[in-house]
C-alpha cells in the first residue's frame, strides 16, 4: 500500500469496513478534505474523505444531508410543493452516492466513475433538480444545524423565507470574524437595510424546497448512470437559492437550466432575485477566503441598498 493515507485513518477504515485496504490513490478537487479512492481486499472500491480539523459531527451532518437529498429524489415530487411540472414525472436518474460508513474522522461513500458530459446527463440534472425541489420538507430550515464548507450553517426554523434568509443566512454570515473584520460600517448598514426589505424583495408563495444548498459546479458529477449530487449543505429554503448558486461561479450549461424550467417553470421576477440569493454564498466565500470577495458583496449591496 502506498504511503498516502495516514496509518490511523487506514486502521479506522479497516475496522469500519471489515476488510484490509490494499490500494490507495489520491483524488483531487477539494480544499477542505483529503480525498482518496481505496481498494479493499474484498474487491470493493470506495471514496474516502478525511480531515484532521473536522469538527466531531462534520461527517455525520454530511451523511445526513445525503440522506435528506435521497428522500427527495426517491419521491415522485408530484403535488408536494405546488411547483409547476411539465408532466414528465420523476427523472429517475439524478442520485446521490450511497453512504458506506462514517465516523468523527472520515466519511466513506460509494466510488463514482466520472464520464464525459453529454446533453442527456445535463438534461437529467435539470429535471432531477426540479424533482428534488418539488419534494418539499415543509419548513424553512432543518431540525439540526450543519455546515457549508467549514462554517456552521444555523437552520433553526423561522416562519417566512424572508425572515429565515435575512437572519439565518445573511446576518449570521456578517457576524462571523472575517466578515466582521472586512465589512465597513457603510456596507454593514447597507446589509441591514437590505434585510429590512427582504419581505418585499423575496415575497414567496411557494412552499420550502428541498435544497442541495451548495450547488456549484464541483458539487455534482456526471457518470454513465446519470448525474450525482455530492457535498451538500442541505436545508429547506427557496428553490431559487440553488439556481442562483449554480449561476454564480459557472459550471452549468443553459441546457441544464432549460430542462429545469421545462419541468418547473420559474416565478415572475426570478432574474431580479438572483443577486440577492447569490449574496449568501458570496458572504460564505468572504468568510472562508477573505478580501477577494469583498467587491462582489459590495456590488450586490449597492444595487439593492
In contact, 194 and 301? CB cutoff 8 Å: yes
Choose, from 42, 53, 57, 214, the residue flagged as catalytic: 214
In order of 13, 154, 214, 219, 235, the CA distances from 104 in angstroms are 12, 20, 22, 22, 22
**CA–CA distance, 243 with 274 (Å, rounded to integer):** 8
In contact, 87 and 27? CB cutoff 8 Å: no
Which residues, 6 or more positions from 94, have their beta carbon under 8 angstroms from its beta carbon?
73, 124, 125, 127, 128, 129, 131, 132, 226, 227, 228, 229
* Residue pointed to by grid coordinates 421545462: 262
* Active site annotation includes 214: yes
Give bridge partners of residue 147 from the DSSP assignment.
152
Burial class (CB in 10 A: 0-12, 13-18, 19+), 255: middle
Give the neighbor-by-neighbor strand order of the sheet with 45-50: 21-26, 34-40, 45-50, 106-110, 99-102
**CA–CA distance, 242 with 239 (Å, rounded to integer):** 6
**CA–CA distance, 48 with 198 (Å, rounded to integer):** 40
Q: Give the catalytic positions in this structure.
A: 214
Amino acid at each position: 500500500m502506498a504511503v498516502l493515507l495516514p496509518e490511523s485513518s487506514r486502521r479506522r477504515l479497516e475496522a469500519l469496513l471489515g476488510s484490509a485496504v490494499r490500494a490507495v490513490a489520491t483524488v483531487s478537487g477539494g480544499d477542505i478534505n483529503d480525498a482518496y479512492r481505496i481498494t479493499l481486499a474484498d474487491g470493493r472500491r470506495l471514496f474516502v474523505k478525511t480531515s484532521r480539523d473536522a469538527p466531531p459531527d462534520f461527517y455525520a451532518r454530511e451523511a445526513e444531508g445525503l440522506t435528506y437529498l435521497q428522500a427527495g429524489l426517491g419521491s415522485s415530487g408530484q403535488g408536494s410543493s405546488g411547483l409547476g411540472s411539465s408532466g414528465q414525472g420523476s427523472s429517475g436518474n439524478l442520485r446521490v452516492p450511497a453512504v458506506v460508513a462514517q465516523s468523527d474522522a472520515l466519511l466513506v461513500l460509494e466510488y463514482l466513475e466520472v464520464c464525459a458530459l453529454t446533453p442527456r446527463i445535463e438534461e437529467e440534472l435539470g429535471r432531477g433538480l426540479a424533482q428534488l425541489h418539488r419534494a418539499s420538507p415543509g419548513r424553512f430550515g432543518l431540525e439540526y444545524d450543519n455546515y457549508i464548507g467549514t462554517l456552521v450553517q444555523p437552520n433553526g426554523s423561522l416562519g417566512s423565507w424572508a425572515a429565515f434568509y435575512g437572519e439565518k443566512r445573511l446576518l449570521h454570515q456578517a457576524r462571523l470574524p472575517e466578515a466582521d473584520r472586512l465589512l465597513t460600517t457603510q456596507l454593514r448598514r447597507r446589509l441591514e437595510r437590505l434585510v429590512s426589505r427582504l419581505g418585499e424583495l423575496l415575497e414567496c408563495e411557494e412552499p420550502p424546497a428541498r435544497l442541495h444548498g451548495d450547488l456549484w459546479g464541483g458539487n455534482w458529477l456526471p457518470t454513465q448512470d446519470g448525474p450525482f449530487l455530492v457535498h451538500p449543505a442541505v436545508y429547506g429554503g427557496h428553490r431559487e437559492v440553488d439556481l442562483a448558486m449554480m449561476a454564480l461561479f459557472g459550471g452549468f450549461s443553459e441546457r441544464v437550466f432549460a430542462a429545469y424550467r421545462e419541468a418547473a417553470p420559474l416565478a415572475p421576477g426570478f432574474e431580479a432575485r438572483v443577486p440577492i440569493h447569490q449574496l449568501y454564498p458570496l458572504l460564505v466565500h468572504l468568510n472562508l477566503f477573505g478580501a477577494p470577495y469583498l467587491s462582489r458583496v459590495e456590488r450586490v449591496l449597492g444595487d439593492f441598498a
